[in-house]
Structure 1
Amino acid sequence: MKIGIIGAGNIGGALTRRLTALGHDVSVANSRGPETLADLAAETGATPVPLTEAARGAEVVIVTIPQGKVPSLPKGLLDEAAEGVAVIDTGNYYPQRDGRIEEIENGVTESRWVANQLGHPVVKVFNGIQALHLRDKGVPAGTPGRIALPVAGDDPAAKATVLRLVEELGFHAHDAGSIDESWRQQPGSPSYGADASPEKLPELLAQASPDRTPEFTA
């Protein structure tokens, strides 16, 4: 697939490395310009592009930037994406970094807020796994110790695309319901950072509370 990655930090870098290794056509952009991505491009074969071109022709667009930076993304960012593009949000709200986001503080899920900023539905995944584990711990289906990742979203076709991609990356893809249920995988929840098995993940998601713990509120 043609995949655009917006953000080249830890998660964006890990996904760039894995997805290019799997043979996908990956474009990657960051806020500092394509010239700053020369080393990553040389290592992976990904194409560095300006932010305004990151989604051009893409069947999947991955937004993996600090939550507080989402409103500053270029307007019309997704206008040139492929029809039916699946947009992935990997982000988490950390008030100490992002500042106070009133809607999230008042109960809107992180990814619902991101979808509202982008004007496009999103699928939430990759937000609760360490970048090194995302890069190094994917294994074929049936391998003991395989990590399960929750995938939340409202668009059935987009979610199906993302579920397949998660499996291709070597993780068990667990359908975790709608975006409005994605609080179950936000920071502070039992599944966050747990590297849970396919059997354990549903239990952890069921144990989650919509009330944020104090360290994840402003």
Structure 2
Amino acid sequence: MKIGIIGIGNIGGTLARKLRAAGHEVRVANSRGADAVRDFAAEIDAVAADVRGAVKTANAIILSIPLPALSELPADLFDSVPADVPIIDTSNYYPGMRDPQIPELDEGKVESIWVSEQIGRPVIKAFNNILAESLANKGCKEGARERLAVGVAGDDADAKRIAMEIVNAVGFDPVDTGSLADSWRHQPGTPGYCCDYGAETMRRGLTMADDEKRLKARDLLFERIKSFDRSLAPSDLPWLNREHNGVS
């Protein structure tokens, strides 16, 4: 599969590395042009590209950039991308932590619906409910008892299937979490967010998610993270998320 990845931060870079190792043709890009990603591309034997080169002829596109960076993408970036090519959104909204306030999201709009509106294309939500450290180090062969799950939400069955194939290829069980409107069930602060659960437990967490309480739960989680008197290690975060809003 030809996969274009825009953004090579913690999640995007890890996905590029793992998908290239799995034998896929990978093109990587960021907003600063091909030269800015050339060293990383050479390291993983991928192709360095600008954002237009990353999406051209791709069978799937992974969009892995902070929400404020969406405004830096060319407005017509996806105009020539065929409608059957899935665009996979890995983002989360972190107000007060990393991101400036976005009023629509503060009022409860589902994050990936907002992303879809910004880029003018439907998206599939995936890889937002697994930590980069877990994504890098906890993948397992299909069928392994300890295999972790990754939620996948979207409105197009074929696009969702391709996204789920990518989840499986990098070592995780894809869990169909419903429509894009349902993807709030694994946004930050919910029981389906970054708890390192297997598929069965994640499904229970998705059913436990409370739409009326999710914004307050998210903000409380972020406040708790900021209140720690020490730096949190990546290994701290799954237990913190479980303790905050885990599956009982």
TM-score range, shorter chain: over 0.9
Provide the rounded CA distance (Å) in 2 between the counterparts of 1:160 and 1:34: 30
The alignment's TM-score, normalised by the length of structure 1, stands at 0.94
Matching residue of 1:171: 172
TM-superposition CA deviations, 1:154-186 (whole Å, max 9, x none): 111100111111112111111000111111000
Give aligned-pair identity as a percent: 44
- Conserved? CA contact 1:91–1:127, under 8 Å: yes
Shift of 1:79: 2.6
Whether the aligned pair in 1 keeps the contact of 2:19 and 2:169 (CA below 8 Å) is: no
Provide the C-alpha distance between the structure 2 equivalents of 1:69 and 1:48, rounded to a whole number of angstroms.
19
Q: Distance in 2 between matches of 1:85 and 1:92?
A: 22
- Tell me the residue number matched to 1:133: 134
What TM-score results when the alignment is normalised by the length of structure 2?
Answer: 0.83
SS of residue in 2 equivalent to 1:206: helix
Unaligned residue ranges in structure 2 (runs of 5+): 223-248
Q: Distance between the aligned counterparts of 1:27 and 1:200, measured in 2?
A: 34
Counterparts of 1:141-156 in structure 2, within 5 Å, are: 141-156=142-157
What RMSD in Å do the two structures reach over aligned CA positions? 1.7
- Once the two structures are overlaid, the 10-residue window that deviates more, 164-173 or 178-187, is 164-173
- Deviation >4 Å, runs of 4+: none
Larger radius of gyration: 2
Q: Distance in 2 between matches of 1:54 and 1:118?
A: 15
Q: Deviations over 1:103-158 (max 9, x none)?
A: 11122100000011111111111112111221222111111210011110011110
Compute the displacement of 1:216 (Å): 7.0
Q: Paired residues, what number?
A: 218
Higher helix share: 2
Does structure 1 retain, via aligned residues, the 8 Å contact 2:85–2:159?
A: yes
1:95–1:216: 8 Å Cα contact kept in structure 2? no
- Residues 28-37 or 4-13, more deviating: 28-37
Q: Is the 8 A contact 1:68 1:98 kept in 2?
A: yes
Question: Residue 5 and residue 107 in structure 1: after superposition, are their counterparts in 2 closer, same or farther (change >3 A)?
Answer: same
Contact persistence 1:92–1:187 (CA under 8 A): yes
Paired residue type of 1:33: G
The corresponding residue for 1:100 is: 101
Query: Does the CA-based 8 Å contact 1:28-1:47 persist in structure 2?
Result: yes
Q: 1:52 offset after TM fit, Å?
A: 2.6
Q: Which has the higher contact order (CA 8 A, sep 6+)?
A: 1
Following superposition, the deviation at residue 187 of structure 1 comes to 0.5
SS of 2:153's equivalent? strand
Q: Distance in 2 between matches of 1:150 and 1:70?
A: 22
Shift in Å, 1:35: 1.3
CA change 1:216–1:119 in 2 (3 A) is: farther
Shift of 1:82: 4.3
The alignment partner of 2:61 has SS state of strand
